[in-house]
Amino acid sequence: MEQESNFDALHEHYSFGADAGQEPLRVDKFLMNRIENATRNKIQQAATAGYIHVNDQAVKSNYRVKAGDVVRVFLAHPPHEDLLVPEDMPLDIVFEDDSLLVVNKAAGIVVHPGHGNYTGTLINGLIYHFDQLPKNSNNRPGLVHRIDKDTSGLLVVAKTDKAMAHLAQQFHNKTSERQYLALVWGDVADEKGMVDGHLGRDPKNRLLMTVFPDGDQGKVAITHYEVVERFGYVTLIKCVLETGRTHQIRAHMKHIGHTLFNDARYGGDKILKGTTFTKYKQFVDNSFKQLPRQALHAQTLGFVHPETKKKMSFEAPLPDDFSGAIEKWRNYAQHQHLGNS
C-alpha cells in the first residue's frame, strides 16, 4: 500500500503505444529508443521503483513489449513545462525591439526543457531576461521555432501575443526564409538539388527521423540544397527549407547518401568517404575534435515584421568550431591529390 500512496504523487511523463508490427523487445531498450537523453541505468532504476507501467501494470526492465502494449513512465516531479526556472545566462541578441528578438544560439544549448535537460536551456535564459513572454501552442514561452541542441545559429523569439501569432503563421505558411550551411560526407554530384521526401519517426528508433519516399507515412518535407565548396571527400552546401520538420536536413541528407559530418545520431561520426591511410584517419579524427557536433549552422533568417510589415533578414557568421573544420578540409584538399588517394 505504501508504494501505491507514493505512486499517487507521481506524474505521467511519457506514454507510448507499441506499433502493430512491434517485435518483442525489452522495455528498457524500447524506452531508450524513444526518450531522448535517457540512459539504460535511469530506465532500469525507474522500473525497479515501479514507475514503468505497461497496460496499467508495473513491469520490470526485462519485460518484453509487444504489439498493442501501452507503455507509460511516471516520475516524481511534474513534466518540464511546470518546471521553468529563470536562469541568468548570456544571450547573443542580434536584434531586439518591443515585438521580438533574434538570438544567435551557440551549439550545445538546448532550446527548451525536456528529459535530461530541465535547466540551462535557451528558454530558461529568456524568461530570466524577459517578463511575460507569450506561450506557443506547446506552452513554451516565446518560441516560434526551434533548432537542435548541437546546431548553431538564428532563432526568432516573440515578445507579444500578436508577434507570436503573426510569426507562427509565417512559418506555417512557409513564407519565412531559412538558410543553413552544412558540411556533408561525399562529393555531392549536382551543383543544385532538391530532396522531397515525407519525414516521420523511424519505427525502430524513435529518436531518429526517416524518409518515407512513397509518402504513405510522415509529413511533407522539402529541402533545397546548393554546393558552396568541394573538398573531395566532404562538401560544403547551403540548404533552404520549404518546411521545418524535426531533423529535416539531417535526415534528408542521409537519405541521399550525404550524411552530415560528425552527426553522431545519423552515423556521420564515422569515416564515410575517403582512404584507408592512417594519416587520413588521424586527419578526420582531428577534424571531429575541431567540430565536436553535427556540421550544421542556421546562417540566415528572414521574415516580415509583425508590426511594421517590413521584410527583415539576419545573418549569423559561422562559429569558430565550424569555420575551423572547413579550413582544415580546405587545406587538406589543396595538398592532396584526392583522385589518386
**Residue 42 CA from chain centroid, whole number:** 22
CA-to-CA separations, 75 to 17, 64, 79, 194, in angstroms, rounded: 18, 21, 8, 43
Determine contact, residues 168/144, Cβ cutoff 8 Å: yes
Determine contact, residues 31/25, Cβ cutoff 8 Å: no
Q: Which of 28, 69, 148, 321 is catalytic?
A: 148
User: Annotated catalytic, 148?
Assistant: yes
Instruction: For residues 52 and 64, give the distance between their C-alpha atoms in angstroms, rounded to a whole number.
Output: 12
Determine contact, residues 249/239, Cβ cutoff 8 Å: yes
As annotated, the active-site residues are 148
